[in-house]
Structure 1
């Protein structure tokens, strides 16, 4: 058996495999110890035989390897000897390298010290040279600053401690730099006061060279703000203002000779102090900063300092706000009442400064602005509310007073756009209040539109309310026109929008409805006029019909008695135009359905067309304002002169009247067998008018006429009549053309 087979057999055997694992106990409890020992002996014998077999098979190779061991030991001895020699040589080389390195290091250190010494000497020479030059440029601060900057840079490059000569120079350089900065700072202050721009430029060139521009700007602005703060505090100080008022007051002398301060005098003196403050100290301070900004901006090389003026302005607004906050209640209340004056001071100051990107930060003054707007709204609403307490209709004086308050509110905001917009909203609320109060007192019952008896007290009251509201709105509009060039467009638009929906039209529409109903009743009587069916010879001197005379008297009476009560011309004009349009429309519908109608009757109806313009003249100045309705009336007037063939031709060429109305009119030329559409339907003329009013669509009206033509056609066929009425083909053609047009 081969060695591999023996090893595999032992590894795969369950008993022997346990002895190959160190962590497992080899004893098997199921087999006795004797049997285990015997089996182990068998395994050992197998391994022994296997080893013997291998030794016998490879004994030559084993002998050869044994002989080579002595050769290997000899070679190892030789290598060890050579290694010892190599170590001795390496130690000698190391000693040689260390000695060279130490020598090189010493020489390098010496060279470095020589170079430092040379640089120190070179810098010292340059320092002394610059120091000597510094004496010659005492009158030129810019050059002096440049030399001092170079000296400072040279001193900062190396440590010159221990060099007595340079120590003295360094002390003098520092002293001279400080002295130059102090002199330039002082020159800066005097130049700002005098407005000397060249000297300011010179100062900032020095600051830039000495790298102190930012610090100098910060200190200068801080100093200006500090001075302004003191002046603001003094101007708002209640005690100082009181003392000044007492010195100049003409108030009465109380017992003990104590001069009682008048509240009005105090208010006047306070605002005088504030206005003088803005015109004096604050303006001068702002001009200093603006000049500072302009000089710094002109010197681009010194850096970016573009927000000097803006930051100063924000700080100024903040300081003024804080001082107001700390001021006594008297001063704060004066600011609340006359807040626009404060804004005016700020805005006038900004206009004087002419500096871009500067605007009032309203967030600092929100407290006073809100209080002012609240009080202003109360002032605007108070006269509107009070005018309704005692009287049912406000008087003109009361309305004028309310308009005056509105005018004052808009006027005080002229200096500030945002405040003007806010006050415009308050004005809009007062206008809305006026409108609401008026509407609550108007009576909208059905009896307020009666036009039979003289105007009732309720009708007169409605008219007076509408006229009062109209007078109020017209006065507001006049104020807007007068102030439009001064007020912002947004403010004007806000107030105008609040006036849009205010009109006397709702009340006038009640009258218009009653008038239109009465007009329709009067026009209905034209069907009872006997002259339309008479066979007289037509002539040019035919008088108008009685119903038209009645209509003329009725319209004139309504205008003089009822409509004339209202002063709102715009609403009155709309109402009158609406009445006139309805009147013309009703007249045309009745005229086109008038049957029978003789040639004399057509001339009579043509005269009525002309007289209708006379009837409407009291309420319509220019008939052209009626547009299509007036053109339809003229078209009907021309239609009455033409034959059916001419009517069809003119309709084909384009006319103002609709096809349905023209076809209804042509039925008056036909015989009795071709009945009118409403007669076919079994309607009277009143039912026809109701149907036409509820069916404005031309398609519905054409189908209505088509029904009458179809019925006539069926009648002809059923009765086998030889010929159609001569108007019938014309009506069919017009029906077809009308349908095509749709």
Structure 2
């Protein structure tokens, strides 16, 4: 049986397989004798299989056995050679180690000799410098330099046990400490009296002793500590109360005790804070600035450019922390009168005149934010209170709000950041005013009527606009008075918030109604019989048309009854100019499309052009303010007295009227075969005006006119008419010129 088959048989046997897995056989159903027998049979099978394997592989086994014998012989030879090599290496080791140990011993001796020489050399230098030190007792700077050098020499080696130097070393240490103590005391006293010469002397000593940075830190920390104490005392509410009692012990008014005490407390607290900044903090800062200036002059001692700035930063934090720890009464006083605190800081900085010092506002954010919050509430309160129900605010109420705004802007003078913040709060109150007014503007159906007397809604809207205008004008007056004192950023913020306040939205409601009525009046131009009258105008005094008289009466009535309700001149003037421009534009459109039109009719329209200026005079004092619209009106007046050829020439030379309108006008000179553009389109005059209002582009209008010319040309060809209307070539030339102008 093959070895593999025996192994497989044993692995698959239920009994033998249990011996391949480590687990107890207790509890099996087979008895112990049977188990032993079974094991014996298995061992016999394995033995027989091993014998079979050995018999089958005996030649290979013999070969491997002989090879093992050869290998053992070779290993014995290598072992003998290794022993010889180790013996030789041991001899080489002995040859190397002996001189190495000798060299090491000599090196140790040399090192000890060298250390001894260095000790002797350092000792000699120490003794020399010590003797030299006694000769410079009156020169602290040189004394410090020698002491520093001695200290460096002493620190290089341990001189313990050298009796010769024991006393010298003690004296050197004593003199160094004594010199440092004297220089430190001199520094403190020099800072108090502002003696710059002695300060320079002190820092030369510190520099030579290599302790400048430590001394600067120690001095600044000492000044900060003293300043912290002064700040704490100034903000201590108990100390303030004790001082008040001492100064007011003779008063005893029961009914007014609390009020007077609170007022006295406030006065005393701010007196303490004012003294704190003007005297204590100022003196501390001047000490540090003097320290900074002296250090800057001594370039050789190192780079210490941020002493004053670091001190100011730490001082701001200390003040903030002490104020934070103070009582709620003190904090409330600071919140209410925060600009006073800022003024103390700003005045201090201006007195110090140090470019590197800037206010650390982040330390004061808590009190500044609280102050701004309360200020915003004060600014919004009069605005909200004046809008009671649906009533229009009175002048007194508006004046009260203006007074609060003026106070808010004035208390921020001297601090740009606070001024900008308060300007933003003022802008919010202005916006609130505008929002409140807008919510109360009436939008009923009768707010734009211009037939009867002004309704209550119209009067209310006008009153609201006038109140807003008064509010805006008063704020502008306040800004004008403070313009030189307020930062321009603050002025700009408030001015920008006033841009939304205008009477123009309400005025535009009237303007639209007025313009629509004017359009209806102008449309009656086409019903005037005088425009087709055959009389010669040269021998007659031509007056304006009836519709123009009606227009003049209507404009005058609207200005006196409706537009005069508003007091804001800027918005009123803008509204009137808009109405006047729209009136002239519509008048020009109608005049250019009147057909038929006789020579007398042209004279009549020319008179109407002149009278239109008079009709619009209630709206605009100077008609030239209308700009291009006024020039178009003048150009139309001249156009009415010219022949088509003269019209074309003047247009080529540069006229104010667009080509499309001039061409529409020239159709009135043509015969009945050359139909007007709107007639070709099957439109009435109202449809034409609507189309012109929705098509402002000159190119679209030229193409509209070109369509009627093309239709006329087709009509001539179809009917084989031999001659064109005399106006037709002029119109073609103007069309070509107009298209060229559009391409430029």
- 1:501-580 correspondence to structure 2 within 5 Å: 501-534=500-533, 535-538=535-538, 541-580=541-580
- 1:190-229 correspondence to structure 2 within 5 Å: 190-229=189-228
How many Å separate the matches in 2 of 1:258 and 1:445? 58
Q: Does 1:445 align with 2:437?
A: no
CA deviation profile, 1:361-392 (whole Å, cap 9, x unmatched): 22222221121111011000001001112671
1:601 deviates by 2.2
- 1:480-519 correspondence to structure 2 within 5 Å: 480-519=479-518
How many Å separate the matches in 1 of 2:103 and 2:680? 138
How many Å separate the matches in 2 of 1:484 and 1:492? 7
Contact 1:515 1:579 in 2 (8 A): yes
CA deviation profile, 1:135-175 (whole Å, cap 9, x unmatched): 22122110010111111122222222223331111111111
1:358 deviates by 2.4
Aligned to 2:421: 422
For the structure 1 residues 140 and 723, does the alpha-carbon distance in structure 2 shift closer, same or farther, using more than 3 Å as the test? same
1:352 deviates by 1.9
1:630 deviates by 1.2
Aligned to 2:165: 166
How many Å separate the matches in 2 of 1:251 and 1:684? 99
1:460 deviates by 1.2
Contact 2:537 2:603 in 1 (8 A): no
- 1:316-335 correspondence to structure 2 within 5 Å: 316-335=315-334
For the structure 1 residues 589 and 110, does the alpha-carbon distance in structure 2 shift closer, same or farther, using more than 3 Å as the test? closer
For the structure 1 residues 467 and 539, does the alpha-carbon distance in structure 2 shift closer, same or farther, using more than 3 Å as the test? farther
Aligned to 1:268: 267
CA deviation profile, 1:384-406 (whole Å, cap 9, x unmatched): 00111267111112111111211
1:625 deviates by 2.2
Aligned to 1:649: 649
Contact 2:446 2:455 in 1 (8 A): no
Q: Which moved more, 1:240-249 or 1:504-513?
A: 240-249
- 1:6-25 correspondence to structure 2 within 5 Å: none
For the structure 1 residues 741 and 113, does the alpha-carbon distance in structure 2 shift closer, same or farther, using more than 3 Å as the test? closer
Contact 1:413 1:420 in 2 (8 A): yes
**SS state at 1:723 partner:** coil
1:109 deviates by 5.4
Aligned to 1:236: 235
How many Å separate the matches in 1 of 2:528 and 2:128? 130
How many Å separate the matches in 2 of 1:96 and 1:727? 132
1:468 deviates by 0.6
How many Å separate the matches in 1 of 2:645 and 2:100? 136
Aligned to 2:464: 465
Q: Which moved more, 1:202-211 or 1:253-262?
A: 253-262
How many Å separate the matches in 2 of 1:440 and 1:509? 17
How many Å separate the matches in 2 of 1:256 and 1:686? 83
How many Å separate the matches in 1 of 2:481 and 2:732? 63
Q: Which moved more, 1:353-362 or 1:183-192?
A: 353-362
TM-score (norm 1): 0.85
Q: Which moved more, 1:637-646 or 1:161-170?
A: 161-170
Contact 1:145 1:206 in 2 (8 A): yes
**SS state at 2:305 partner:** coil
After superposition, the CA RMSD in angstroms is: 3.6
For the structure 1 residues 701 and 94, does the alpha-carbon distance in structure 2 shift closer, same or farther, using more than 3 Å as the test? closer
- 1:290-689 correspondence to structure 2 within 5 Å: 290-389=289-388, 392-534=391-533, 535-538=535-538, 541-689=541-689
**SS state at 1:145 partner:** helix
1:555 deviates by 1.4
**SS state at 1:262 partner:** helix
CA deviation profile, 1:328-387 (whole Å, cap 9, x unmatched): 111110001011111111122122222233222222222211211110110000010011
For the structure 1 residues 162 and 675, does the alpha-carbon distance in structure 2 shift closer, same or farther, using more than 3 Å as the test? closer
1:525 deviates by 2.2
Contact 2:639 2:647 in 1 (8 A): yes
How many Å separate the matches in 1 of 2:57 and 2:211? 101
For the structure 1 residues 30 and 297, does the alpha-carbon distance in structure 2 shift closer, same or farther, using more than 3 Å as the test? closer
Greater Cα radius of gyration, structure 1 or 2? 1
CA deviation profile, 1:259-304 (whole Å, cap 9, x unmatched): 9852122111111110110000001101111111222222232223
How many Å separate the matches in 2 of 1:260 and 1:515? 63
1:702 deviates by 2.9
For the structure 1 residues 119 and 612, does the alpha-carbon distance in structure 2 shift closer, same or farther, using more than 3 Å as the test? same
- 1:284-295 correspondence to structure 2 within 5 Å: 284-295=283-294
How many Å separate the matches in 2 of 1:36 and 1:222? 98
How many Å separate the matches in 1 of 2:259 and 2:501? 51
Q: Which moved more, 1:427-436 or 1:121-130?
A: 121-130
How many Å separate the matches in 2 of 1:96 and 1:307? 64
| Unpaired runs of at least 5, structure 2 | 4-43, 67-80
Aligned to 2:30: none
For the structure 1 residues 715 and 156, does the alpha-carbon distance in structure 2 shift closer, same or farther, using more than 3 Å as the test? closer
Aligned to 2:731: 731
Contact 1:249 1:261 in 2 (8 A): no
For the structure 1 residues 605 and 168, does the alpha-carbon distance in structure 2 shift closer, same or farther, using more than 3 Å as the test? same
| Unpaired runs of at least 5, structure 1 | 1-13, 16-24, 52-78
How many Å separate the matches in 1 of 2:319 and 2:290? 22
Aligned to 1:4: none
1:133 deviates by 1.9
How many Å separate the matches in 1 of 2:160 and 2:400? 88
Contact 1:251 1:261 in 2 (8 A): no
Contact 2:444 2:457 in 1 (8 A): no
How many Å separate the matches in 1 of 2:350 and 2:105? 76
For the structure 1 residues 258 and 136, does the alpha-carbon distance in structure 2 shift closer, same or farther, using more than 3 Å as the test? farther
1:447 deviates by 1.2
For the structure 1 residues 36 and 529, does the alpha-carbon distance in structure 2 shift closer, same or farther, using more than 3 Å as the test? closer
1:505 deviates by 0.7
1:416 deviates by 2.3
Aligned to 2:26: none
How many Å separate the matches in 2 of 1:145 and 1:406? 65
**SS state at 2:738 partner:** helix
TM-score (norm 2): 0.84
How many Å separate the matches in 2 of 1:160 and 1:31? 86
Pairs aligned (count): 686
**SS state at 1:642 partner:** coil
For the structure 1 residues 563 and 95, does the alpha-carbon distance in structure 2 shift closer, same or farther, using more than 3 Å as the test? closer
How many Å separate the matches in 1 of 2:685 and 2:96? 143
How many Å separate the matches in 2 of 1:257 and 1:570? 53
Contact 1:670 1:726 in 2 (8 A): yes
